[in-house]
Amino acid sequence: MQISQFLNETNKDSLQNYEHLSLVDIIDLLDEEFSDYPAYCDIKGHNVYYNEVVRDARFFAKYLMCVGLNIGDKVVLRMTNRVEYAVACYGIILAGGVVVNINPMLHPKQYQWYLKQAQASFIVTETNNAVRLLSPEELNISFHSAVARGEKLNTKLPALSPHHLAVMQFTSSSSPACKPVLLTHQNILANAMQMRGLLGNQIQTSRETWLCPLPLYHHFNFMCVMWTIPLTGGKTLLASPRDGEGFWLCLEEELITAIIGIEPFFAMMLHHPDIKNLYWDRLKFCISGSMKLSKQTHQKWIDITGSPIIEFYSITEASAVVGAYTQDNEFNVLTLAEQTEFHVLDRKGYDVNVGEIGQLCIKGPQVMHGYATTRHEYPFNSTGFFKTGDLVRKHPNNKIEFIRKQANSVFIQGREYFPEEIAKLVKRLPGIDHVQVKPQSHHQSIDLVIATKNEKMDKNTILQWLEKNKSLEHDYIGDVKIISNLEPNKPNNPDNSNRI
């Protein structure tokens, strides 16, 4: 089957027609359809073609199997944006392994936390600008040596189903707590096709050159660069503003037709003095995801480059993309991806009326089956819809408007409070230095951790003060822990550096 046939059938039944395919089939199709087209380009202008990427990925897969990788084993990818990342990613998938993306910029203690969560059998990591394959059993070999040894093996690659695990992706630092999301071959493939469907006729097969400045370990960029762009035969320029002048030279020399970015990247570009000196006539469109794009940034980008930014609503638990924003009169309408169902529910789990705000709950082929650990709150409601934790307003004709992240807010007497707001209320009590607010799982009461130098401070004193000053109903306060010293509030997420 050719990809041209595979992609031209993006109608209402397209996802159902290809439910039997795994990512292995897609990687094979890339080699058949786009063999002689460039897949990736580094900052020095060196092109690597699809046939080279797939060839080396197959060799790497055979070597992984030779050294003991079994179907379902996890392999950590910890490296910056480089061609070896793509080869390693596809090789892990072809061998039946599970890709675990980890930020290469983490501090050692944070990295160890992620490794413990991943329980990986192998690690592909970057050290002193060289990529190596490691394992707990003392395996330590250069990545290119592993590929070379795999070339000599006659190992048969396994047959995989759409329901095999493909990726373990950690939620980003915008989440209240970092969670390991499990995604299948079907989840990833469905989302790549959904994303392409939302882009419509913007993409020309084998004609686009994409600029990829964002890290590949991030769920949105991972979906774009590793799956959606290859399905169109596109070429990805792996360059970053961290490359300094080399980054801007790339923009001058490469004929960029599309850019993947987020708010900080576009804002950084707009503030750079060279942006108006670049030739933007070939740039057709840009895409953004993961975080909301400001209207000011979007408009200024259009004014300078003439290129619109297609903004996606993305979350890790839905592989990446849930839908895309379109401007409709006075509010941002969220157009959901193909075969994505939704409800807008209140706190009690009932559908809200038109015009009201509630939590967006979704169901679709791209939505995960669950988290890798059971210590997190069950994320699905009784009918199997994933609770996104994001607030939207329901409009007529099944349209929804994104409002904001629900975060860790709590409802007290019909009013919504945020942790920072509650902390500010409690801190008005004389003698309190710091307040840490922890919403309970049902989001209708809170626990407090309070630092004070007042040795006589206790829970009753705090509750009486709150009642006297009518700041907050004390019935909604659970545990109150009082300690002599507390550092200022820190995010629950151990990956505080995982910001793009």
For residue 111, the domain's CATH number is 3.40.50.12780
pLDDT of residue 409: 60
Q: Are residues 282 and 416 located together in one domain of the fold?
A: no
User: How far is residue 97's CA from residue 71's CA, in Å, rounded to a whole number?
Assistant: 5
**Cβ atoms of 342 and 362 closer than 8 Å:** yes
pLDDT in tens, 177-204: 688 999 999 999 999 999 998 998 888 8
Residue 330: inside a domain: no
Q: What CATH number corresponds to the domain at position 424?
A: 3.30.300.30
Mean per-residue pLDDT of the chain: 84
Residue 399: inside a domain: no
pLDDT of residue 497: 33
pLDDT of residue 6: 52
Residue 400 vs residue 55, higher pLDDT: 55
pLDDT surpasses 50 at 264: yes
Residue 475 vs residue 466, higher pLDDT: 466
pLDDT surpasses 70 at 484: no
Q: Are residues 303 and 420 located together in one domain of the fold?
A: no
- 40's torsion region: left (phi>0), alpha (psi -120 to 50) or beta? beta
Residue 373: inside a domain: no
pLDDT of residue 357: 87
pLDDT surpasses 60 at 491: no
CA-only gyration radius of the chain, Å: 24
Residue 384: inside a domain: no
User: What's the pLDDT band for 153 if we cut at 50, 70, 90?
Assistant: very high
pLDDT of residue 492: 40
Among residues 294, 310, 326, the one where a domain terminates is 310
Least confident stretch, 22-36, 38-52, 338-352, 465-479: 465-479
pLDDT surpasses 70 at 278: yes
Q: Are residues 434 and 299 located together in one domain of the fold?
A: no
Among residues 310, 336, 370, the one where a domain terminates is 310
| Domain containing residue 430 | 411-483
pLDDT average, residue stretch 24-30: 94
Residue 387: inside a domain: no
Q: Are residues 26 and 162 located together in one domain of the fold?
A: yes
Least confident stretch, 16-30, 82-96, 293-307, 439-453: 439-453
Residue 486 vs residue 424, higher pLDDT: 424
pLDDT of residue 498: 31
Among residues 281, 310, 339, the one where a domain terminates is 310
User: How far is residue 102's CA from residue 115's CA, in Å, rounded to a whole number?
Assistant: 9
pLDDT of residue 56: 98
Residue 456, SS3?
coil
User: What's the pLDDT band for 61 if we cut at 50, 70, 90?
Assistant: very high
User: What's the pLDDT band for 435 if we cut at 50, 70, 90?
Assistant: confident
- Strand partners for 411: 416
pLDDT of residue 86: 97
pLDDT of residue 328: 58
pLDDT of residue 439: 66
Integer CA distances (angstroms), 231 to 50, 194, 197, 309, 475, in order: 11, 12, 12, 21, 55
Q: Which range scores top for mean pLDDT: 15-19, 65-69, 424-428?
A: 65-69
pLDDT in tens, 287-304: 998 888 888 888 999 999
Residue 380: inside a domain: no
Residue 153 vs residue 382, higher pLDDT: 153
Residue 493: inside a domain: no
Residue in 77, 109, 99 with CA at minimum distance from that of residue 181: 99
How many other CB atoms are there within 10 angstroms of residue 247's CB atom? 17
Residue 498: inside a domain: no
What is the number of domains present in the chain? Answer: 2
